[in-house]
Chains A and B, each alone.
Chain A
């Protein structure tokens, strides 16, 4: 099986779905880029190069460079989706959601319900989040908690190349609006990815490691860190389960509760400030549904309740570290 990057896996999913279905289009800022010549080799292909090569292949009608107008981009994509197209709109950084959130939570997410089931909105919003790039307070957030609390929206946080491809293909084929939250920190991560198209269902957690001493639930870029923590703990004889829900909405509550039944200890690792976070959400799930199974207080490893700082040492201290995960697990033992 080919070993490719997370970036390439996403690119491959887009390419295969666009080739399969003409109703799939890309729109966003610099998704093609350049001067617009057909087959423009100098095209940008997204600020992180994720859509590179798609403009020359599919042309300006299907890889659509937009003005820097996020409300109009997401709104137009939602409008096109309601007619049956399957637009993949790119929101360059999830931090920019502030200027178009209305189109996401008041419009796209609500159409099916408020129109009594008559409308469907097969829209994908590809965006990226997460700290670690020294990008400062307005280009480093994750914001998945804000999106996860919106009924009608699905939220995906792929943590590796294999999942990125399968989850994006599923997102494009899905009949609901999906926010596909890529992790900046993972674009260069390599992994085995089948060449053919495949779907990974939403709401099905991936158990990356099985251990009976504790359950670590981690999201997105925190999953590889949880795995590193698991390796260190194993050296001390502590065997942990590492569970990646893959989607925060829907959330595979059953898998988390089943694991908790076996281990009795829960640590949630979430790259976001703690209040109203996924960490708080999963902790509440455990306490309300599996209190009897808990042998120790739930550990929450999150960012502090601060904006993302710029200085490298401060930013490194902001992101949940492997050390903090290890410590949080030990605190439950």
Chain B
């Protein structure tokens, strides 16, 4: 991989570090459980797991303030958990139940929470990028000092509407951070085989948008870059691009066995670069936490995830009448 930014003297407390550990572990365990439920046939359709990428969203959430917005693609479970949405509500949406965030009508890719300023889960590659520019447009119009994190992948970076949005966001100085989660595979095609130039963060140069490459396996590096981007946007300087280089351990979706790369490649990444293990090691070697403390967190996370799975199994299926609701503002004709 290309040269990375490192954070030698992170200005974070042990408490914050423990928080990142906890948040990343919640995503990891939640996704593992979702994978299990999928295997058991309790989750249907497409299910895109975030395992391996946890440091991206947790690092950026650490840079966000209350009221900031986020919008992402279909690989959205991690984003929702990281911004504080309820694990049970997310899992129950995966199983298509009444207690899910979208009452079972959205599924894995489509959830929304105005309270947490999460503007969806979108299934069309890169379609969330103009939408994210629009969220930021509304903030600029209201002059409320908020920023929007607009997440998309290295695959989406080759869609045309991304560049329409770059131009518009730069032209109008919209407070939007374009977060390119570069997990190095556009579905099953390696980046070098789908993308003409390696450095996607430089694609904003033509529009006058600054961009930088970030080590997406290091939550502190992500947080630091996020803070810089947030400060740039909040100061009214317009958009910022973060290319966060990361890696997904699982296939593009649960139906993808990921045979387009070697097991060794994945194994190497897990052993040497795992974002959770990195924080764990920092906590223990720096004596910021004890093994027992971390075990306690592991246990707490396991309980949350198990409870979410139980809720997702027990929540009833949506009533058939739900088929005809929420189409228009007006109630359906009797």
Report Cα–Cα, A72/B102, bound state, in Å.
26
Q: Is the CB of B326 within 8 A of A117?
A: yes
B171 touches A (CB below 8 Å): yes
Identify which of A106-114, A272-280, A295-303, A309-317 touches chain B: A106-114
- Name 29 A/B residue pairs within 8 A (Cβ), A-sorted: A67-B164, A69-B161, A69-B165, A69-B167, A69-B168, A72-B130, A72-B161, A75-B129, A75-B130, A77-B134, A79-B119, A79-B137, A81-B134, A82-B131, A82-B134, A82-B135, A83-B139, A111-B112, A112-B326, A112-B327, A113-B105, A114-B107, A115-B106, A116-B101, A116-B106, A116-B112, A118-B114, A119-B119, A176-B329
Q: Which residues of A are found within 8 Å of B101, using beta-carbon distances?
A: 115-116, 118
A154 touches B (CB below 8 Å): yes
Of all chain A residues, the one with the shortest Cβ separation from B161 is A71
Of all chain B residues, the one with the shortest Cβ separation from A123 is B134
- Residues 86-117 of B contacting A (Cβ, < 8 Å): 100-107, 110-114
Indicate whether A25 sits within 8 Å of B131 (C-beta atoms), given known contacts A71-B160, A152-B327, A174-B329: no
Q: Which residues of A are found within 8 Å of B130, using beta-carbon distances?
A: 71-72, 74-76, 78-79, 103
Apart from A78-B134, A111-B120, 15 more pairs, CB < 8 Å: A73-B168, A75-B129, A75-B130, A79-B133, A79-B136, A79-B137, A82-B119, A106-B124, A107-B122, A107-B127, A114-B106, A117-B103, A152-B328, A175-B329, A176-B329
Q: Which residues of B are found within 8 Å of A84, using beta-carbon distances?
A: 138
Q: Is the CB of A116 within 8 A of B134?
A: no
Q: Which residues of A are found within 8 Å of B69, using beta-carbon distances?
A: 83
Indicate whether A116 sits within 8 Å of B138 (C-beta atoms), given known contacts A67-B168, A71-B161: no
A61 touches B (CB below 8 Å): yes
Report Cα–Cα, A174/B112, bound state, in Å.
21
Report Cα–Cα, A73/B329, bound state, in Å.
24
B293 touches A (CB below 8 Å): no
Report Cα–Cα, A113/B120, bound state, in Å.
12
A37 touches B (CB below 8 Å): no
Of all chain A residues, the one with the shortest Cβ separation from B103 is A116
Report Cα–Cα, A71/B137, bound state, in Å.
15
Identify the 3 closest CB pairs spanning chains A and B, nearest first: A79-B134, A75-B130, A116-B102
Q: How many residues of B contact A (CB 8 A)?
A: 45
| Contact pick for A113, options B113, B119, B326, CB 8 Å | B326
Report Cα–Cα, A116/B141, bound state, in Å.
28
Say how far B201's CB is from chain A's closest CB, in angstroms.
Answer: 20
Contact string against B for A residues 171-199, beta-carbon threshold 8 Å, 1 for contact and 0 otherwise: 00011100000000000000000000000
Say how far A147's CB is from chain B's closest CB, in angstroms.
Answer: 15
Q: Which residues of B are found within 8 Å of A85, using beta-carbon distances?
A: 138, 141
Q: Which residues of B are found within 8 Å of A117, using beta-carbon distances?
A: 103, 325-326
Of all chain A residues, the one with the shortest Cβ separation from B133 is A76
Q: Which residues of B are found within 8 Å of A72, using beta-carbon distances?
A: 130, 133, 161, 164-165, 167-168
Say how far B67's CB is from chain A's closest CB, in angstroms.
Answer: 11
Q: Which residues of A are found within 8 Å of B103, using beta-carbon distances?
A: 116-117
Of all chain B residues, the one with the shortest Cβ separation from A83 is B138
Q: Which residues of B are found within 8 Å of A74, using beta-carbon distances?
A: 130
Report Cα–Cα, A66/B169, bound state, in Å.
11
Q: Is the CB of A116 within 8 A of B122?
A: no
Report Cα–Cα, A76/B166, bound state, in Å.
12
B132 touches A (CB below 8 Å): yes
Q: Is the CB of A80 within 8 A of B168?
A: no
Q: Which residues of A are found within 8 Å of B114, using beta-carbon distances?
A: 118-119
A265 touches B (CB below 8 Å): no
A210 touches B (CB below 8 Å): no
